[in-house]
Structure 1
Amino acid sequence: MMKCYDCMEEGKDTEATSICIACGKGLCSDHCKELELPVSVGQPPHVERLQKGLPRILCKYCFEQTIEDAFD
């Protein structure tokens, strides 16, 4: 079984439940963040945004970097 990388650094032994899509670290549910990416369908000028986006799992570090970079 894959172990949570961040827990390992804290001296804990926790099984990973997900993987960060940016850096590939195994993560437990306490160390992951979910980012929902918007999804649009259709062709211009008739483009419609779907109510539910695509969930993406990131570690807290990559999440903070992604949010920071998006608003610089």
Structure 2
Amino acid sequence: MNCFDCTQEQKNVPAVAICCHCGTGICAGHMLLSTEEVHHEVGTGPAWGKRSARRATCRTCGGAEHEGPAA
């Protein structure tokens, strides 16, 4: 699978990850890598995991997350 954004730029670059929101294949150059707290249902409520999970998004979805709500 090739990177979707690279194909829009007429390039053939292999995808190294899949966006966790839209499922698009992304290369290292178009990937936004972040962490996410993981919570587990334990007893009377959620408990946070000891480590954060890795999270890959494409630039479109990552940018939409950080823009905030539409006015």
**TM-score bucket of the superposed structures, by smaller chain:** 0.7 to 0.9
User: Letter of the aligned partner of 2:22 in structure 1?
Assistant: C
The total of aligned residue pairs comes to 70
Point out the more displaced range, 26-35 or 48-57.
Answer: 48-57
Counterpart secondary structure, 1:7: helix
**Shift >2 Å, 4+ stretches:** 39-45, 47-52
Distance 1:65 1:13, change over 3 A: same
Distance 2:18 2:41 in 1: 31
Output the CA distance in 1 between the equivalents of 2:38 and 2:52: 5
Where 1:36 maps in the other structure, the secondary structure is strand
The answer as to 2:23 corresponding to 1:24 is yes
Report how far residue 28 of structure 1 moved: 0.6
- Any gaps of 5 or more consecutive residues in structure 2? none
